[in-house]
Amino acid sequence: MLQPHQPLLDAAVPPQRSPARDQAGPWHSEAVCRRDEAGLFFAPSKEPTAARLSREEAAKRVCARCPVMVECREHALLQPEPYGVWGGLTAAERRVVLARRRRREAELQRTVRVAAAG
């Protein structure tokens, strides 16, 4: 698991990568954040709210120009990464995405059961 202030290149690579990325190397080798300060993506202890929001917005701007943003986001959702900005999403935003995915999956399973019973 990637720890705060640990370079992205040490992160575990998710098993679900696109074939093009597999040929070019791990997805994180192309991450724009490798060239930026890691502190931008992870909160220091006792960070004031205004400073956190500003830092997160700056991190998201870096993510927005990253060619592997989607792979990074999926990595963070599949792990799940509990801290930091990954793929343009904060930890709280990732929790919302995961909750929505679980609800959709549960709805789909209910629909399948109803269709099979009917």
Three-class SS of residue 87? coil
34 vs 12, which has greater pLDDT?
34
58 is in an annotated binding site: no
Of 23-27, 101-105, 111-115, the range with the lowest mean pLDDT is 23-27
Rounded to the nearest integer, the mean pLDDT of the chain is: 81
72 in a known ligand binding site: yes
Confidence (pLDDT) at 96? 96
Please say if the pLDDT value at position 4 is more than 60. no
List the structure tokens of 57: 């917005």
Rounded to whole angstroms, how far apart are CA atoms 18 and 29?
Answer: 14
Q: Catalogue the E-assigned strands of the chain.
A: none
- Residue 33: name the closest of 56, 59, 14, 57 by CA: 59
**Rounded Cα–Cα distance for residues 98 and 19 (Å):** 25
**Mean pLDDT for the stretch of residues 90-108:** 95
Q: Which two tokens stand for residue 116?
A: 């099979």
110 is in an annotated binding site: no
